[in-house]
C-alpha cells in the first residue's frame, strides 16, 4: 500500500514542504514522517500538524486534499512516484532528477523548474515558467518530460537545455525563450514571441503563430521524427489529430540574434 498524506488542516499562509519526496521519506516510520520540519510562512512546524500520514511507503506517495497553497512538493526527488489528487502549489517537482509526479488537478508556476530528469504529468493546467530556469540562472530544464493536458502560461521552457515539454492546450507568450536545446510541442494556440533568443532546440506548433522578424523560413518538409513523438504523446493520453502524423511542416530557423540553430516547426497542412 502506498504512503498516503491527507491534508487535515488548510494552511492560512503558504506551506513549504520540500520533505515530501521519496528520497526524504523512504526510510522513515510514520511517526518520524509526521515530525518532519516544514515551513508555515516563517514558522517551523511539523508535517503532522497539517497532514495525516497513513500506510507505508512502497515507492509511492499519494497526497490528498487541496494543495494549491502548498509549495515545493517533490523538489529534488530522484525516484519513486508522487500522486497529487487535487491542485498543487508552486515549485512542484523543481530540480527533480528522476521518478514521476502525477497531478490530477492543476499545477502552478515553476512546475518542474530546472528539472534534470523524470516525468511530470498534469491533467489540468499549469502556471508560468513551466520547466524554466530560475531568475539569474543560465539553464532551465535539463532533462526529463513535462506533459500538461491543459494550458500553460508565459515563459514555458525558459532557457531549457534538454528534455520534452508537451502541452495539450494553449501556451502563452515567450514559449521557449532563450532555449538552449530540447523540444517543446504545443497542440493548442501560442502567445507571441515564441522562441525569442533561442540558440538551438525545436518548438513544434499546430496552429498559426506570429513569428519574430529574426526568424527565417527554410523549407517545408515532413519530419519523420515527429511521428514518433506524436505516437508517444498519444500513448500518454493527449489527443492527437491523425493528420498531424505525416502532415507537412514549415521549418523556420532562428533566432538570428543568437546562434540561429533553433527551429520552429509550424503545421502547414490546413
Partner 1 sequence: MSENIKIVKNATCTFCGCVCDDMELHVDLDENRIVKTKKACVLGKAWFLEHTIEKDAHAAMIDGKKVSMEEAIEEAAQTLVKAKFPITYGLSDSTSEAQRQAVAISDIVKGNVDTTSSVCHGPTGMAFQGVGESTSTLGEVKNRADLVIYWGANPAESHPRHFGRYSVTAKGMFTPNGKKDRTVVIVDVRKTKSSPVADINIRPKIGKDFEILWALRALVKGKKVADDIEEQTGISLETLEDLVERMKNCRFGVFFFGMGLTMPRGRHFNTGALLALATDLNEFTHFVAKPLRGHGNVTGADNVVSWQTGYPFSVNFNRGYPRFNPGEFSTVDLLSKGEADAAMIIASDPASNFPKKAIEHLKSIPVISLDTKSTLTSKDAHVAFRVSTYGINTTGTVYRMDDVPITLNPAFDSPFPGDEEVLKGIKKRVQELMLARHNANGARGEAKVAAARIQE
Interface with partner 1 (CB under 8 A): 12-14, 16, 39-43, 69, 90, 109-110, 128-129, 134-136, 173-174, 177, 192-193, 196, 210-216, 255-257, 260
Q: Cβ of residue 243: shortest distance to partner 1, in angstroms?
A: 28
Give just the sign of the alpha carbon dihedral 27, 98, 147, 193: positive
Q: How far apart are alpha carbons 132 and 256 in whole angstroms?
A: 22
Other Cβ atoms less than 10 A from the Cβ of 135: the count is 7
Q: Cβ of residue 136: shortest distance to partner 1, in angstroms?
A: 5
- Residue whose CB is less far from partner 1, 240 or 264: 264
Cell match 489528487: residue? 85
Q: Where are the beta strands (DSSP E) in the chain?
A: 3-7, 15-16, 37-40, 43-46, 51-54, 60-64, 70-71, 81-84, 100-103, 119-122, 145-148, 164-167, 183-186, 202-205, 216-221, 249-254, 262-267
- Residue whose CB is less far from partner 1, 4 or 128: 128
- Residue whose CB is less far from partner 1, 213 or 239: 213
Q: How far apart are alpha carbons 107 and 210 in whole angstroms?
A: 27
Burial class (CB in 10 A: 0-12, 13-18, 19+), 37: exposed
- Residue whose CB is less far from partner 1, 107 or 168: 107
- Residue whose CB is less far from partner 1, 135 or 270: 135
Q: Cβ of residue 9: shortest distance to partner 1, in angstroms?
A: 14
Q: Cβ of residue 57: shortest distance to partner 1, in angstroms?
A: 26
- Residue whose CB is less far from partner 1, 59 or 256: 256
Contact 180, 201 (CB under 8 A): yes
- Residue whose CB is less far from partner 1, 246 or 250: 250
Q: Cβ of residue 42: shortest distance to partner 1, in angstroms?
A: 4
Q: Cβ of residue 152: shortest distance to partner 1, in angstroms?
A: 14
88 CB-near residues (< 8 Å, 6+ apart): 63, 67, 68, 70, 73, 103, 105, 106, 107, 108
C-alpha R_g of the chain: 19
Q: Cβ of residue 178: shortest distance to partner 1, in angstroms?
A: 8
Helix (H, G, I), strand (E, B) or coil at 121: strand
Amino acid at each position: 500500500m502506498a504512503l498516503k498524506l491527507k491534508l487535515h488542516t488548510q494552511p492560512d499562509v503558504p506551506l513549504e514542504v520540500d520533505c515530501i519526496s521519496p528520497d526524504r521519506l523512504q526510510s522513515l516510520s510514520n511517526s518520524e514522517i509526521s515530525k518532519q520540519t516544514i515551513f508555515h510562512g516563517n514558522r517551523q512546524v511539523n508535517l503532522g500538524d497539517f497532514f495525516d500520514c497513513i500506510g507505508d511507503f512502497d515507492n509511492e506517495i499519494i497526497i490528498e486534499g487541496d494543495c494549491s497553497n502548498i509549495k515545493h512538493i517533490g523538489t529534488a526527488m530522484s525516484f519513486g512516484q508522487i500522486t497529487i489528487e487535487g491542485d498543487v502549489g508552486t515549485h512542484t517537482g523543481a530540480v527533480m532528477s528522476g521518478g514521476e509526479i502525477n497531478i490530477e488537478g492543476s499545477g502552478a508556476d515553476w512546475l518542474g523548474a530546472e528539472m534534470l530528469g523524470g516525468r511530470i504529468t498534469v491533467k489540468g493546467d499549469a502556471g508560468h515558467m513551466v520547466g524554466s530556469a530560475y531568475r539569474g540562472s543560465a539553464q532551465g530544464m535539463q532533462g526529463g518530460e513535462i506533459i500538461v493536458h491543459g494550458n500553460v502560461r508565459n515563459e514555458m521552457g525558459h532557457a531549457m537545455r534538454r528534455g520534452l515539454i508537451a502541452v495539450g492546450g494553449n501556451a502563452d507568450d515567450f514559449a521557449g525563450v532563450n532555449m538552449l536545446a530540447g523540444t517543446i510541442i504545443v497542440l493548442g494556440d501560442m502567445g507571441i514571441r515564441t522562441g525569442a533568443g533561442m540558440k538551438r532546440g525545436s518548438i513544434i506548433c499546430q496552429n498559426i503563430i506570429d513569428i519574430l522578424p529574426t526568424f527565417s523560413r527554410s523549407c517545408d518538409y515532413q519530419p519523420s521524427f515527429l511521428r514518433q513523438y506524436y505516437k508517444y504523446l498519444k500513448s500518454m493520453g493527449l489527443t492527437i489529430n491523425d493528420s498531424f502524423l505525416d502532415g507537412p511542416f514549415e521549418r523556420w530557423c532562428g533566432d538570428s540574434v543568437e546562434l540561429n540553430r533553433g527551429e520552429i516547426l509550424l503545421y502547414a497542412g490546413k
